[in-house]
Every structure is written in C-alpha cells, then in structure tokens.
C-alpha cells in the first residue's frame, strides 16, 4: 500500500526574548503584511500588550482594528469570523493567554487568513500549536485549526504573569513524558501512525524542562526561555505529526475528565502534571522523578494542591479512557476499575 501524503504546516518566524514586541512591525513586513491587521485580545491583555502592538503597526501606516473577546466559545469564534469577513485583514494577531489565542487561531483558519501568536503567558502549548480548544463544540478537547505563521514571545511580558501560569506550562510540557509513550503504544498495538521525529521533539522538550527545573523560577529570564522554547517545540511537534498525538495522551484524558467532573478544577497544565505522575506509574516509568520535578517547580502533585476532592481524582481516572475513545492509551490496555484507580492514586500519593 502506498504511504499517504504527509503535510506539515510550520511557523515561519519565531521570536523569543526580552522586548520582542517592539519587533512586530519588522516581522509583519517580512511576512508581507503591510496593509491591515485585526488584533484579537481580552480587555486585560489589550491594555497589557495589545494597544502597544496596535500603535507599533499604526506607526507603519497599517490599518489596525481590534476585537475583544473574554471567553473561548463557538460563539466567540463566530463573532470573530464575522469581523474578519467584514474587515478582510491581511493577518489576525492573537494577543493573550489561552482563550484569545485559541479564538484567533480557529477563526482565522476558518476564514483562511494567516495568524500571528503573541502569548502573554506560558501556560500551555497552544501558543504555538496548530490546534484550538474551544467550548461549545462537540468535543471537549482541541481540534485542528492552523499553525501560527509567526510566534512572538516577549519574556518581559510573560514573566509578569502569575507564577501559576508558568507552573501550568511546565506541567503541560512534562506531560509529553507519558503522551509520547501512549502514542508509541497505539502504534505497536493498534498500528496507528507514529512519527519518530515528532515524538522525539516532544519528548526532548519534556526532558529539557525537567533537567532545567532549578532554573525555571520567577524573574529568571533564562528559565523562562527554556520553558517558552519547550512549549513552542511541542507546538511544532504537533504540526509535524498533524495531530495532538505527540503532546496529549492519557494524562491529558485525565485532565479533560477532571474538567468535566468538577467546575472548580485547576489549570490545564497543573492537572496534566498530576496525571503524568499516575500514568508514569502505570508505565512502570520513573513516576517519583516526575513528582520530585513538579515539587521543585512548586507545582501541585496531589488532589489537595489541585484544590479538588480526592474522590473526584479517582472518578476522573476511571472516566479518562472514555473521554476520547479513538485515542488509544495505557488506560485502554489496563482497563481499570474503581478499586484499581483508587490504588493508583493512593500509591502515587495523589490522594
């Protein structure tokens, strides 16, 4: 049987460092966007960065419009699409943390307009991935949108975000430790496509963050760069794979389940980090090392620190395998009952 075509859509410009926002006009020009842009931001992120971006581009005589969104629902995506249809900007610029980037990415993809990612936090790998997570769609997880044509990560801005966001980003990267194992498992047992290049890139990002855990601390630009570059590499690994497979396995299913069970859940990457401890245990991998690394980063390692009920953690573990039936992971192989889930959570001291 002939092999299928494999398309990779990758970012063209990636800029990481202190004060990179100032270079938006230059990047924009290099990409051929000299006429018009539409900025998607939240009210806070607009004040923080969005208005600077607007001014910088207006100084270049570009026509720049702004549209503020406060959530990431299917309705928000549609509202932005309407704006894009009327204004016909050359590029959509998403300025913000998770939600704004997700809305900007998906709406621009639908309208076939390029998208520039300007993250204000380092809380998850969506800042560079080709996928968007939007509420109100049929699926509780990310769907394919488009890869950003450029990513402009200003450490000066990102370092000002509360520490929890950074912890969440670290957890999301460390999650690749088990996500990649799940992918390999699906390949071996279900003959699923597996890309060694994408898998290695995701796994290497997790290893780099773990090795540099001491360095990643407030006010350490060097540490933030390690994390931001790891998040971007994870995003690129998804572009190479053409799906979220290298970056989202059983530990993400656990996090998705916890989101469904309790409205008072913790941040995405915080939950994925705790999920990674338990899934690493299932793989008989070095789960204690994962836990120690998360502790070093002051990230949650148990139900109490996630501020969720112990019972909900066990329930989420039991429910995780049903979250995405097409995504084969260690959970499908083990087929855990309630008692087994409780044992796993207790042994790894998550409950």
Query: Is there binding between residue 81 and Zn ion (CB under 5 A)?
Result: no
3-class DSSP assignment, residue 93: strand
CA atoms within 13 A on the CB side of 105: 32
Where are the extended beta strands (E) located within the chain?
A: 13-17, 36-41, 63-68, 91-96, 115-119, 131-132, 143-144, 150-154
CB of 219 to Zn ion, least distance (A): 25
CB of 172 to Zn ion, least distance (A): 4
CB of 276 to Zn ion, least distance (A): 11
In this complex, which beta carbon is closest to Zn ion, that of residue 28 or of residue 123?
123
CB of 15 to Zn ion, least distance (A): 23
In this complex, which beta carbon is closest to Zn ion, that of residue 52 or of residue 255?
255
Q: Kind of pairing, strands 131-132 and 143-144?
A: antiparallel
Contact 196, 187 (CB under 8 A): no
In this complex, which beta carbon is closest to Zn ion, that of residue 28 or of residue 168?
168
Nearest to 156 by CA among 259, 75, 48: 48
Query: What's the rounded Cα separation, in Å, for the pair 234 and 249?
Result: 13
Binding mask 156-175 for Zn ion (x = CB under 5 A): ----------------x---
CB of 246 to Zn ion, least distance (A): 11
Query: What's the rounded Cα separation, in Å, for the pair 153 and 108?
Result: 20
CB of 37 to Zn ion, least distance (A): 28
DSSP for 249-288, written as a single string: SHHHHHHHHHHHH-TT---HHHHHHHHHHHHHHHTTS-HH
Give Cβ neighbours of residue 9 (< 8 Å, ≥ 6 apart): 130, 146, 147, 239
CB of 133 to Zn ion, least distance (A): 8
Nearest to 130 by CA among 304, 30, 250, 246: 246
Contact 269, 168 (CB under 8 A): yes
Query: What's the rounded Cα separation, in Å, for the pair 273 and 17?
Result: 26
In this complex, which beta carbon is closest to Zn ion, that of residue 172 or of residue 318?
172
In this complex, which beta carbon is closest to Zn ion, that of residue 76 or of residue 172?
172
Query: What's the rounded Cα separation, in Å, for the pair 326 and 321?
Result: 10
Nearest to 327 by CA among 207, 192, 129: 192
Q: Give the CB-nearest residue to Zn ion.
A: 172
What DSSP state is assigned to residue 247? G
Size of the site for Zn ion (CB under 5 A): 1
In this complex, which beta carbon is closest to Zn ion, that of residue 51 or of residue 207?
207
In this complex, which beta carbon is closest to Zn ion, that of residue 154 or of residue 172?
172
CB of 244 to Zn ion, least distance (A): 8
CB of 198 to Zn ion, least distance (A): 15
In this complex, which beta carbon is closest to Zn ion, that of residue 206 or of residue 226?
206
Binding mask 171-210 for Zn ion (x = CB under 5 A): -x--------------------------------------
In this complex, which beta carbon is closest to Zn ion, that of residue 57 or of residue 216?
216
Q: Kind of pairing, strands 115-119 and 150-154?
A: parallel
What are the residues binding Zn ion (CB under 5 A)?
172
């Amino acid at each position: 049987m002939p092999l299928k075509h494999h398309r990779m859509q990758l970012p063209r410009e990636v800029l990481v460092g202190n004060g990179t926002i100032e270079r938006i006009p230059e990047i924009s020009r290099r990409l051929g966007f000299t006429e018009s842009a539409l900025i998607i931001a939240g009210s806070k992120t607009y004040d923080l960065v969005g208005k600077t971006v607007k001014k910088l581009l207006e100084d270049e005589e570009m026509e720049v419009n702004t549209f503020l969104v406060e959530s990431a629902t299917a309705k928000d995506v549609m509202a932005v699409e309407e704006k894009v249809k009327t204004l016909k900007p050359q590029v959509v610029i998403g300025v913000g943390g998770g939600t704004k980037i997700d809305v900007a990415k998906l709406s621009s993809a639908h309208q076939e307009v390029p998208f520039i990612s300007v993250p204000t936090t380092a809380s998850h790998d969506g800042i560079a991935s080709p996928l968007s997570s939007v509420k109100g769609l049929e699926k509780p997880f990310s769907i394919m949108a488009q890869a950003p044509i450029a990513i402009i990560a200003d450490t000066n801005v990102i370092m000002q975000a509360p520490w929890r966001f950074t912890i969440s980003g670290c957890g999301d990267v460390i999650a690749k430790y088990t996500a990649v194992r799940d992918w390999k498992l699906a390949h071996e047992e279900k003959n699923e496509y597996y890309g060694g290049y994408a898998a290695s890139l995701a796994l290497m990002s997790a290893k780099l963050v773990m090795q540099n855990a001491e360095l990643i601390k407030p006010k350490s630009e060097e540490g933030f760069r390690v994390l931001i570059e790891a998040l971007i590499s994870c995003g690129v690994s998804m572009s190479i794979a053409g799906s979220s497979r290298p970056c989202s396995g059983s530990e993400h299913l656990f996090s998705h389940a916890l989101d469904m069970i309790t409205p008072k859940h913790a941040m995405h990457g915080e939950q994925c980090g705790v999920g990674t401890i338990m899934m690493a245990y299932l793989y008989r991998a070095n789960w204690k090392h994962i836990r120690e690394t998360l502790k070093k980063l002051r990230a949650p390692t148990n139900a109490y620190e996630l501020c969720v009920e112990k019972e909900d953690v066990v329930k989420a573990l039991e429910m995780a395998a049903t979250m995405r039936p097409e995504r084969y992971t260690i959970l499908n192989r083990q087929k855990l009952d309630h008692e087994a889930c409780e044992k796993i959570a207790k042994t790894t001291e998550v409950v």
